[in-house]
Homo-oligomer: A and B are copies of this chain.
Amino acid sequence: MLRGLVQVTPPERVTAIVNTADDTVLHGLRISPDLDTVVYTLAGAINPETGWGLAGESWQAMEALERYGGLTWFRLGDRDLGTHLYRTHRLSQGATLSTITAEIARAHELELAVIPVTDDRIATRVRLAETGPAGEAGTEIGFQEYFVQHAHSVPISGVRFDGAQGAVPAPGVLDALDRADAVVIAPSNPIVSIGPLLAVAGVSDAITTRRDHTVAVSPIIGGAALKGPADRMLRELGMECSALGVARAYRELASVMVVDDADRDLAPAIEELGMRCVVTPTIMSGSAEAAALARVVVESVS
């Protein structure tokens, strides 16, 4: 979505507010997967096959770690490690995550602002629905254990964002929401990618205030997520797994809901929720499709 937005808007006028509840500490290193994926993607450096990590990466450190029988389920490429070393060192110096993220984005020559939703530590905790490889039913595990180690293939019964209620939005977050011509809720996982942003105190209210200028894009197309476990999670948590279900989740926040052509039939029901429904191709298979969608999205609320 961001790749589209920076094509149709001057990049220096775009602010990405990014989830940090996926962040984890591994081997003593602070890993911020969503921030890094945003930066690497916009820098054109992302590994296009995996959707994470860097293209043309080497894996010497992981191979050494394998020799020791170390923790290797979370793959950290050698160049990617440079990012985590930098972040961890700067945090130890007292720099905030938002300052560090700006430094990393600048080093990658990005012109847009990339801001973690908060400089405080928030962490997605996932409750297991069944006793299995990940643990006992009812116990909680970290997001990366769920998402990567267990390949989001264990049923869950709950999600919460540890620390979010007491967290303060990072500098620039509320201001960006307040001043934006368009606030775009990206077609990301509503529960674990957008959910933590909304859980940080003040963010949800700031968006609600800008409801007339806020547009959400459904990540669910024809009842399924294009990638990731969003569809499965929605069902497991008792929500309707459709663009309509997503619209219900965002109705207080956004005045416009963008759904794929495949979900044209849901438009009347979505409009009944009090949202305007825009029907358009939403599968961004390339740069041109991303730009076309971004144009529709921005124009819908500008």
Contacts and interface: CB of A to CB of B under 8 A. Distances in A.
A28 B24 CA distance: 13
Interface string A31-70: 0000000000000000000000000011011111101111
Contacts of A84: 27
Protomer copies: 2
Contacts of A82: 60-65, 67-68, 70
Contacts of A70: 82, 85-86, 89-90
A85 B65 contact: yes
A83 interface: yes
A135 to B, nearest CB: 17
Nearest to A77: B60
Given A67-B82, A69-B107, A89 B58 contact: no
Interface of A: 26-30, 57-58, 60-65, 67-71, 76-86, 88-90, 92, 103-104, 107
- What are the 8 tightest A-B residue pairs by CB atom distance, in nearest-first order? A64-B82, A60-B78, A27-B85, A28-B88, A28-B28, A78-B78, A70-B86, A61-B81
